[in-house]
């Protein structure tokens, strides 16, 4: 059962009001940092609106992060609109409870028209307005902003069904701490940010860890006297528009670099973990009869991650030279461990022989937009948009990874994305009725797809974040 919404964040008091028949110029669906940033700009521009949140504002940070979770970008990058980081350690990395408290203070700073505990169940275009169905009645709006985020559905591959029944399996969104898992070795699958940080958390607690690697890139924490994020920010990396890249779709679905802000920030060095006893493997290919089968790509995965990290350093070196910056010279990192023969990169692993009793699936997230009954999605189920503006007049998205820049999915870039969306809201007069039938060539206005998981047990959420 989900925890009750935090009373400090509840703007509209219990009981949740009946919204049937309510109309607003704008309805924002989602009360995380992205939806709240839109609300801040709407409030500043004097536009009447309502923010609907299924749980409590910012609950993702509190309810779906492990106990030792912290930001991987420095606190100074937290720049919500009108509310930058206000703590004592700008170069530090806020931990989970500090992030939640920061969001609480942001909410308090401007008092958004936020209704918590209301889940949107449908979105349709009706003549000159939108109809938003919720579990507390249907309301209408001239324009709608979808701010439900990329971390909606925990993605666990069907491969998990082949693991022995006695193994405990959790997705990274449900992992909290090493004590949560039974005694014995732990298999972590995936080396994105979550997978690497959870593997480190278990490793530091003295657990035997097996880590199935992938192709996620790596970045150094510090280089030439500064956090790499500081260098990249100064170089304009986080504000470069996605339309300046030749492969827009590929950029939007790239995995983030692994690094950590834990204990003041440091590299995540899988090679050093291997020296210290962590068992590294290639990509997981299959499971049968209690045995795991891996691709023989461990060396390629480690070398590829290192190559990205070194490439970032090359870019920083070039920037320093071009700008004439006096920065200390730093010797490049050399690999401290290399996979050897079969013993260091086995093609198969017997779960029982290895003493593995639990598995953490760090395999990313997907979106569930089936409640949106409008033709705005591509063949992969991803919303098509230009800087959050869809082809459906009056409908917008906010908070997508790489919505426009690398900073879009972070605290650093969501304010400018929200301002852009609100500017478009101001410029758009949603006065064109949707011709019934024209937009429903793929089905009917009332049922273009199954309405929930119970109707389609084999449905898989489109990937949105790693």
**pLDDT digits over 30-40, tens only?**
999 999 999 99
pLDDT of 385-436, one tens digit each?
A: 999 999 999 999 999 988 999 889 889 999 999 999 999 999 985 443 343 4
Percentage above 70 pLDDT, the chain: 88
pLDDT of 243-267, one tens digit each?
A: 888 777 777 777 889 999 999 999 9
- Does residue 446 have a pLDDT over 60? no
Taking Cα atoms as reference points, which of 157, 153, 148 lies closest to residue 174? 153
* Per-residue model confidence (pLDDT) at position 412: 93
* Per-residue model confidence (pLDDT) at position 466: 59
| Residue 379 CB partners (closer than 8 Å, separation 6+) | none
* Per-residue model confidence (pLDDT) at position 151: 85
- Does residue 441 have a pLDDT over 80? no
* Per-residue model confidence (pLDDT) at position 246: 79
For residues 62-66, average pLDDT:
93
Q: What angle do CA 451, 453, 459 make, to 5 degrees?
A: 100
For residue 284, the tally of other CB atoms under 10 A from its CB is: 21
User: How far is residue 406 from each of residues 237, 340, 362, measured CA to CA in Å?
Assistant: 7, 36, 22
* Per-residue model confidence (pLDDT) at position 458: 59
* Per-residue model confidence (pLDDT) at position 14: 60
| Residue 94 CB partners (closer than 8 Å, separation 6+) | 70, 71, 75, 78, 87, 102
* Per-residue model confidence (pLDDT) at position 114: 97
Q: Report the mean per-residue pLDDT for the chain.
A: 89
SS (H, E, C) the chain: CCCCCCCCCCCCCCCCCCCCCCEEEEEEECCCHHHHHHHHHHHHCCCCEEEEECCCCCHHHHHCCCCCCECCCCHHHCEECCEECCCCCCCCCCEHHHHHHHHHHHHHHHCCCEEECCCEEEEEEECCEEEEEEECECEEEEEEEECCCCCCEECCCHHHHHCCCCCEEEEHHHCCCHHHCCCCEEEEECCCHHHHHHHHHHHHCCCCEEEECCCCCECCCEECCEEHHHHHHHCCHHHCCHHHCCCHHHHHCCCCCECECHHHCECCCHHHHHHCCCEEECCEEEEECCEEEECCCHHHHHHHHHHHHHHHHHHHHHHHHHHCCCCCCCCCCCCCCCCCCHHHCCCEEECCCCCEEEEEECCCEECCCCCECCCCECCCCCECCECCECCCCCEEECCCCCCCCHHHHCCCCHHHHHHHHHHHHHHCCCCCCCCCCHHHCCCECCECCCCCHHHCCCCCCCEEEC
| Terminal C-alpha separation, the chain | 25
For residues 149-156, average pLDDT:
90
Residue 7: pLDDT band (50, 70, 90) is: very low
| Cβ–Cβ under 8 Å, residues 143 and 394 | yes
* Per-residue model confidence (pLDDT) at position 440: 36
* Per-residue model confidence (pLDDT) at position 117: 95
10 or 284: which leads in pLDDT? 284
- Does residue 2 have a pLDDT over 60? no
* Per-residue model confidence (pLDDT) at position 450: 42
50 or 379: which leads in pLDDT? 50
Residue 343: pLDDT band (50, 70, 90) is: low
SS (H, E, C) 270-304: HHHHHHCCCEEECCEEEEECCEEEECCCHHHHHHH
Alpha-carbon gap, residue 286 to 229, rounded angstroms:
37
* Per-residue model confidence (pLDDT) at position 428: 86
Domains and CATH numbers, the chain: 23-153+365-465 (3.50.50.60), 162-361 (3.50.50.60)
* Per-residue model confidence (pLDDT) at position 146: 98
* Per-residue model confidence (pLDDT) at position 432: 39
Burial class (CB in 10 A: 0-12, 13-18, 19+), 32: buried
* Per-residue model confidence (pLDDT) at position 448: 38
């Amino acid at each position: 059962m989900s925890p009750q919404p935090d009373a400090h964040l509840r703007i509209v008091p219990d009981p949740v009001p009946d919204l049937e028949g309510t109309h607003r110029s704008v309805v924002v669906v989602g009360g995380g940092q992205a939806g709240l940033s839109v609300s801040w700009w709407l409030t500043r521009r004097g536009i009447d609106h309502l923010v609907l949140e299924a749980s409590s504002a910012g609950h993702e940070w509190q309810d779906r992060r492990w106990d030792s979770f912290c930001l991987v970008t420095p606190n100074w990058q937290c720049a919500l609109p009108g509310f930058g980081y206000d703590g004592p350690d700008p170069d530090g990395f806020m931990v989970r409870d500090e992030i939640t408290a920061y969001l609480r203070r942001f909410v308090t700073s401007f008092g958004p028209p936020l209704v918590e505990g209301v889940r949107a169940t449908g979105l349709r275009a009706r003549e000159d307005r939108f109809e938003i169905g919720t579990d507390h009645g249907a309301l209408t709006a001239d324009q709608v902003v979808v701010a439900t985020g990329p971390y909606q559905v925990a993605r666990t591959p069907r491969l998990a069904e082949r693991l022995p029944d006695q193994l405990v399996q959790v997705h990274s969104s449900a992992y909290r701490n090493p004590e949560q898992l039974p005694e014995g070795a732990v298999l972590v699958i995936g080396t994105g940010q979550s997978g690497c940080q959870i593997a480190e958390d278990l490793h530091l607690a003295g657990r035997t860890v097996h880590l199935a690697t992938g192709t996620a890139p790596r970045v150094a924490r510090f280089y030439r006297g500064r956090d790499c994020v500081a260098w990249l920010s100064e170089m304009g990396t986080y504000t470069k528009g996605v339309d300046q890249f030749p492969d827009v779709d590929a950029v939007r679905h790239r995995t983030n670099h692994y690094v950590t802000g834990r204990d003041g920030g440091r590299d995540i060095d899988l090679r050093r973990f291997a020296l210290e006893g962590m068992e590294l493997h290639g990509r997981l290919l299959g499971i049968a009869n209690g045995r795991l089968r891996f691709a023989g790509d461990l060396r390629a995965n480690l070398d590829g991650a290192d190559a990205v990290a070194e490439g970032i350093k090359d870019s920083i070196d070039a920037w320093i030279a071009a700008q004439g910056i006096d920065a200390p010279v730093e010797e490049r990192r050399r690999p401290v461990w290399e996979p050897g023969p079969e013993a260091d990169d086995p093609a198969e692993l017997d779960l029982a022989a290895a003493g593995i009793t639990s598995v953490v699936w760090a395999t990313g997230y997907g979106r569930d937009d089936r409640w949106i009954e409008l033709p705005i999605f591509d063949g992969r189920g991803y919303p098509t948009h230009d800087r959050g503006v869809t082809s459906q007049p009056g409908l917008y998205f906010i908070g997508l990874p790489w919505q426009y820049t690398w900073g879009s999915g972070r605290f650093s870039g969501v304010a400018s994305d929200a301002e852009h969306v609100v500017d478009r809201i101001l410029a758009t007069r949603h006065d064109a009725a949707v011709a019934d039938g024209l937009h429903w060539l793929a089905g009917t206005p009332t049922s273009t797809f199954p309405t929930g998981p119970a109707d389609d047990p084999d449905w898989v959420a489109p990937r949105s974040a790693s």
